[in-house]
């Protein structure tokens, strides 16, 4: 007689509530990790739950504090970046917030590159001052400016491997050495690069951050962020994330792990296509400039080749003559390439920083940074490069 037949009969209501509760016994294992879409875990005894919460034994308690899928993406990113540990957050901005909150407190100060991502700028200028944390923005390629900005309360030097949207390249080794000299932690947002292009920890930096929504996920279907660094630091970032509710969800984590399996292949295609498109754009009219680290014309070309010898990623920018009217006509002339306020999809997309990513910057600061009304940011995908160029060529004909 089956176990089902010998079990004590329960009401239909109770059976419905407990439907599908089975422990899977198997001598095989899934090749693709399952999605653990549960918000809470059950325990048989008080001793067991105490052991897991106190971290005396392994296990999971509650969605906000971590899931097997979150652990999987954390372990993968720590390995790919060469870090001791990682914390996977619900978004790139959540990763930045949890990382900075792990080391900053009221009265502290940080130094950040004046050309950082617009939402990071907004976080540092609008929200952190409410907690008594101040930021000085400098050009981090100028070591003298960094030294002049240091205070007794300065804790962090924050910059990006490749800047958004001006594609400036940070000298990782030089900035890491300067950070150690000045007693500052070096935080690097490497979203534009991914560990398939450059690994900042290998150059001596302390903390690396990613919006996994971008190249790590790569398909515009998974939201998330990750911070990688030393074990003690990550434990502090995880404590903040767990308290505030910043954990990366199981399905997003599962999608990000899926995408990491093809990251090196995708980044090689992104880099190849972006270089071909950038070279083609340099030969066009209607342009004030083309910005891509892999071009000879880029002011930091030699640095880019030293840090990113296998390719500079898929991001480039170009400035149209004619300002907003020209931008509007150009975007309307595109058929294959969608206008989208994000980046790093396998699909080529285009964005206008002034009206999207860099809206938080005052107009005069945008202008000073070279983020003009005519500037467009192109996230070059992995399509056939000839199709990408043909679509751009048709858009130029619309000017």
Q: Just list the catalytic residues.
A: 64, 117, 189, 214
Q: CB of 336 within 8 A of CB of 367?
A: no
What are 183's two structure tokens?
């007693």
Question: Phi/psi of residue 209, each to 5°?
Answer: -125, 150
- For tokens 């950070």, the residue is 179
Structure tokens at 310: 């296998």
Q: Please tell me the distance from the alpha carbon of residue 188 to that of residue 384, in angstroms, as a whole number.
A: 32
Q: CA-to-CA distance for 240 and 234, rounded, in angstroms? A: 10
Quick one: DSSP state of residue 33?
Answer: P
169, 188, 334, 376 from 388: Cα distances, Å: 25, 31, 10, 15
Residue 105 to residue 26: CA distance in whole angstroms: 49
DSSP, collapsed to helix, strand or coil, labels residue 228 as strand
Q: Return the structure tokens found at 197.
A: 């292009």
Cα(224)–Cα(252) distance, rounded to whole angstroms? Answer: 7
Q: Is the dihedral of CA 95, 98, 102, 107 positive or negative?
A: positive
Tokens matching residue 110:
């940080």
Query: Residue 279: exposed, middle, or buried by beta-carbon count in 10 A (0-12, 13-18, 19+)?
Result: middle
| Phi-psi label, residue 59: left if phi above 0, alpha if psi -120 to 50, beta otherwise | left
Query: 300 CB contacts (<8 Å, ≥6 apart)?
Result: 168, 169, 293
Q: How many Cα atoms occupy the beta-carbon half-sphere of 233 within 13 Å?
A: 19
SS3 150: coil
């Amino acid at each position: 007689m089956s176990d089902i037949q010998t079990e004590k009969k329960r009401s239909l209501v109770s059976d419905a509530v407990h439907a599908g509760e089975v422990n899977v016994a198997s001598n095989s294992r899934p090749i693709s990790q399952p999605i653990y879409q549960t918000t809470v875990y059950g325990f048989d005894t008080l001793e067991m739950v105490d052991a897991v919460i106190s971290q005396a034994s392994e296990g999971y308690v509650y969605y906000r504090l971590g899931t097997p899928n979150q652990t999987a993406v954390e372990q993968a990113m720590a390995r790919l970046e060469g870090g001791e540990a990682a914390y996977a957050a619900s978004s790139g901005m959540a990763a930045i917030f949890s990382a900075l909150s792990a080391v900053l407190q009221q009265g502290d100060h940080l130094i950040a590159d004046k050309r950082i991502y617009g939402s990071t700028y907004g976080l540092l200028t609008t929200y952190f001052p409410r907690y008594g944390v101040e930021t000085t923005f400098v050009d981090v390629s100028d070591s003298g400016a960094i030294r002049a900005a240091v205070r007794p309360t300065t804790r962090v030097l924050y910059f990006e491997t490749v800047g958004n949207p001006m594609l400036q390249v940070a000298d990782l080794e030089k900035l890491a050495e300067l950070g150690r000299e000045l007693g500052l932690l070096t935080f690097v947002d490497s979203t534009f690069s991914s560990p398939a292009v450059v690994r900042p920890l290998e150059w001596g930096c302390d903390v690396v951050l990613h919006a996994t929504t971008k190249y790590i996920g790569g398909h515009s279907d998974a939201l998330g962020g990750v911070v990688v660094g030393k074990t003690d630091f990550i434990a502090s970032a995880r404590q903040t994330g767990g308290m505030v509710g910043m954990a990366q969800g199981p399905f997003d984590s599962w999608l990000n792990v899926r995408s990491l399996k093809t990251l090196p292949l995708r980044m090689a295609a992104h880099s190849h296509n972006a270089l071909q498109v950038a070279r083609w754009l340099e030969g066009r009219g209607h342009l004030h400039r083309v910005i891509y680290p892999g071009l000879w014309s880029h002011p930091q070309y030699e640095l880019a080749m030293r840090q990113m010898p296998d390719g500079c990623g898929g991001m480039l920018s170009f400035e149209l003559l004619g300002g907003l009217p020209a931008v509007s006509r150009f975007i309307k002339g595109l058929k294959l390439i969608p206008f989208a306020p994000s980046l790093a999809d396998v699909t080529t997309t285009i964005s206008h920083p002034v009206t999207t990513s860099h809206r938080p910057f005052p107009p005069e600061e945008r202008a000073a940074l070279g983020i003009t009304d005519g500037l467009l940011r192109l996230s070059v995908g992995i399509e056939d490069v000839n199709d990408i160029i043909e679509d751009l060529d048709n858009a130029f004909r619309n000017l």
